[in-house]
Amino acid sequence: MVGTRISSLLGKITVLFVICCCCLPAHAKYGGGSGTPEDPYLIYTAEQMNAIGADQNDWDKHFKLMANLDLGQFTGEEFNIIGYYVSYSNNKPFSGVFDGNGHTISNFSYTSTGTSYIGVFGYVRGDNAEIKDLGLIDPNVDAGTHGRVGSLVGGLREATITNCYAERGSVSGNELVGGLVGFNDESTISNCYSTASVSGNDLIGGLVGHNWDLSVITNCYSTGNVTGDRYVGGLVGYNYSGTITNCDSSGDVEGNSAVGGLVGWTWDYSTITNCFSSGNVTGNGSVGGLVGSNNESTISNCYSTASVEGGIFVGGLVGGNREGSVLNCSSTGDVNGVSHVGGLVGYNSSWCAITNCYSKGDVSGESQVGGLVGDNYWLGKITNCYSTGSVVGNLRVGGLVGWNRNNSKITNSYSNGSVQGAENVGGLVGENPEGEATNSFWDVETSGQTISAGGTGKTTAEMQMQVTFTDAGWDFVGETVKGIEDIWFIPQQDYPHLWWEGMQVPMKLTPVSLNCRSEGKWIKAHITLPEGFTVADVNSERPAVLHSFGFQSAPLYVFINKDKVVEIEAAFERQAICSLTGDWPQALTVAGFFADGNIFLGTSNVRIIHPGLKVIEELASCWLQGDCVYPETDMNRDSLVNLLDYALLMNIEVEFVTDE
């Protein structure tokens, strides 16, 4: 009887066990999840991470890292790289989403002599492909003679990487090698960094080896040392039609040709903006503190403090500038080369424009040596620039430009550094065949040179007087006779400085939305100075200026606010500002003056209700009087044909307007 009961009980347990097993997922994988956006595969262990690369059927799925991993157990080629590219017809990218979830992967090591596209992810491609919030600690990748190598991704195309980094470690290969990504094509990399050392031959970068075709790199940096042969950069080796903004690099960079502190070579209409570099840069040809060679591209609002040493085409900011533009940039590191050596740009040619720039580092070389530009060639333009460093060379040596030739022009510029040389030496320009230097000056006392192939020599006292320059047509902040661009300002007992060198301070405008139909009298800028400034530091008797528009404020109201810091209120007449025509800027900048002649700059975004906009009352009048062209369809799909449909039909922006 007892045996029968036990047998019956065991039978029931068996049935229950079978039922429970049938209720479990048929293919439970990794650490859980189903691979969908709502239920991603969960990764808890190094083995689960390695399993991703073993099953390419999952490479379009979603993954989420749930713990910090150590991949140190995988050596050589043991780790299964995720995604591969062998040829155009033989490739399989990772096209899913990998969410690092703020975790790290340590000790990723991969050594190969026969494979390209190497990284934790070998090849990533797809509009929805994304890697985010992931850190690599001590990655060590060596691709031998092969390329497209990065610690995180070997090749990235039409995808996104966000909030990722590589700390310490090293990455090496032959070509297209980057500390984080080897090859970036039509993809976005944002908020990322690398501190790994990087080495190879061609297209070698501290963060990305090759940035190609409409790729965007923004808010990124690199600090590792970078070495290579050609196209070697502290952040990016080769930038083709790509955009780099708000980025910096600080590692030492060494190569042969096209070597730059930030980018080795940039080409084909590539907008490098708001970037800087600070490491030492060494090379042979086309060597620059920021960019080695700039071709048909624009560099703006950038600077370099790097010391630079090279052979030919060597510059504190750009080595060789060909059909490119350099705007609002500076360099302060020392520069040493052989020929075509400049404090800012070594070689500037083919319609290149250098505008609103300066250099302060000492410059030395053999021939074509200039404080700002070594060789300004073939329609090169230098406008509103200056240099202050000492210049030493042998042949064609100038305080601003060593050799200015072939219809190249220097306008509204100056130099005040000491100049030494043997042949064709000038305070401003060393030699000037078929070139022009107009409304430009050099200091005959500090330069030690009383002659120049272009420009006008002045004493130190004359060089520190605003009238010297306004008499030549220069435009200074606060005066409108020479224009309203407000390019220069001059502190007390100092030389002219560019407007953008002014101290940047917080500012807000009231009203926030500028309604030009309101009858209010004032638009007010509220500017706050940093701690340590006093009311006496501000020239309250000198009006503030609406930069690039020329309007002056009413007398300033300067006081100590509730936070015990200096606040300045500058009021501008609403009617004057609203009289402006043309496109409104997205932001307005106000310049004010310190007691010592320096300036402070506040910038604030504005929303403009343009005086040309029709208001609802005017539209209503037109509608009621029957003078409007009536729409035949319901333009806004609200089941009514009325006044708003008319506004949409006529492409008129409608604003409900009230006085403040």
Model confidence band, residue 654 (pLDDT cutoffs 50, 70, 90): very low
303, 447: one domain: yes
Task: Convert the pLDDT of each residue in 170-213 to its tens digit.
Answer: 999 999 999 999 999 999 999 999 999 999 999 999 999 999 98
At 423, is the secondary structure helix, strand, or coil?
strand
Distance of CA 494 to the CA centre of its chain: 31
In whole angstroms, what is the distance from residue 2 CA to residue 322 CA?
Answer: 98
- Residue 542 belongs to domain with CATH number: 2.60.40
In whole angstroms, what is the distance from residue 644 CA to residue 380 CA?
Answer: 53
Of 502, 480, 473, 272, nearest to 383 by C-alpha is 473
pLDDT at position 11 is 44
282, 135: one domain: no
In whole angstroms, what is the distance from residue 182 CA to residue 204 CA?
Answer: 8
Model confidence band, residue 20 (pLDDT cutoffs 50, 70, 90): very low
pLDDT at position 628 is 53
pLDDT at position 114 is 86
Q: Is residue 5 part of a domain?
A: no
pLDDT at position 622 is 55
The pLDDT of residue 652 is above 50: no
Averaged pLDDT for residues 253-260 = 98
425, 443: one domain: yes
The pLDDT of residue 22 is above 80: no
Domain that holds residue 144: 35-243
164, 133: one domain: yes
Last residue of a domain, one of 243, 270, 304: 243
Last residue of a domain, one of 191, 226, 243: 243
277, 416: one domain: yes
Residue 385: φ, ψ to 5°: -135, 160
Averaged pLDDT for residues 47-66 = 98
pLDDT at position 645 is 58
Q: Is residue 351 part of a domain?
A: yes
* Spatial contact of 310 and 342, defined as CB atoms under 8 Å apart: no
Q: State the Cα angle at 441 between 437 and 443, rounded to 5°.
A: 145
Averaged pLDDT for residues 559-573 = 96
* pTM of this prediction exceeds 0.95: no
Q: Is residue 364 part of a domain?
A: yes
Tokens of 306: 């790097």
pLDDT at position 180 is 98
The pLDDT of residue 215 is above 80: yes
Buried b (16+ CB within 10 A) or exposed e, 88-108: eeeebbbbbbbbbbebbbbbb
59, 96: one domain: yes
Q: Is residue 14 part of a domain?
A: no
Cα torsion angle, 36, 38, 44, 49, sign: positive
Number of domains in the chain: 4
- Give the pairing of strands 414-415 and 386-387: parallel
User: How many CB atoms lie under 10 A from the CB of residue 127?
Assistant: 10
The pLDDT of residue 7 is above 70: no
411, 560: one domain: no
Q: Is residue 2 part of a domain?
A: no
The kind and range of the H/E element at 52 are: helix 46-54
Task: Convert the pLDDT of each residue in 87-117 to its tens digit.
Answer: 999 999 999 999 999 999 999 999 998 899 9
Last residue of a domain, one of 463, 488, 511: 463
196, 259: one domain: no
Q: Is residue 21 part of a domain?
A: no
- Chain mean pLDDT for the chain: 90
In whole angstroms, what is the distance from residue 366 CA to residue 448 CA?
Answer: 19
In whole angstroms, what is the distance from residue 221 CA to residue 490 CA?
Answer: 34
605, 621: one domain: no
- Residue 352 belongs to domain with CATH number: 2.160.20.110
In whole angstroms, what is the distance from residue 325 CA to residue 347 CA?
Answer: 12
118, 228: one domain: yes
pLDDT at position 12 is 40
Model confidence band, residue 653 (pLDDT cutoffs 50, 70, 90): very low
Q: Is residue 84 part of a domain?
A: yes
3-state secondary structure 546-569: ECCCCCECCCCEEEECCCCCEEEE
* Spatial contact of 525 and 507, defined as CB atoms under 8 Å apart: yes
Q: Is residue 357 part of a domain?
A: yes
Percent pLDDT > 90 in the chain is 80
362, 234: one domain: no
Amino acid at 271: T
Amino acid at 15: V
pLDDT at position 14 is 39
Of 244, 180, 236, 197, nearest to 217 by C-alpha is 244
Please name the residues in contact with 184: beta carbons below 8 A apart, sequence gap of 6 or more: 156, 178, 208, 210, 211, 212, 215, 217, 242
Task: Convert the pLDDT of each residue in 493-520 to its tens digit.
Answer: 999 999 999 999 999 998 877 777 677 7
100, 221: one domain: yes
In whole angstroms, what is the distance from residue 144 CA to residue 116 CA?
Answer: 9
The pLDDT of residue 386 is above 80: yes
Please name the residues in contact with 229: beta carbons below 8 A apart, sequence gap of 6 or more: 200, 201, 202, 204, 255, 256, 257
In whole angstroms, what is the distance from residue 629 CA to residue 582 CA?
Answer: 27
Task: Convert the pLDDT of each residue in 356-366 to its tens digit.
Answer: 999 999 999 99
Please name the residues in contact with 634: beta carbons below 8 A apart, sequence gap of 6 or more: 640, 641, 645
Model confidence band, residue 607 (pLDDT cutoffs 50, 70, 90): confident
pLDDT at position 223 is 98
pLDDT at position 619 is 52
The pLDDT of residue 656 is above 80: no
Lowest pLDDT segment from 252-256, 269-273, 358-362, 466-470: 269-273
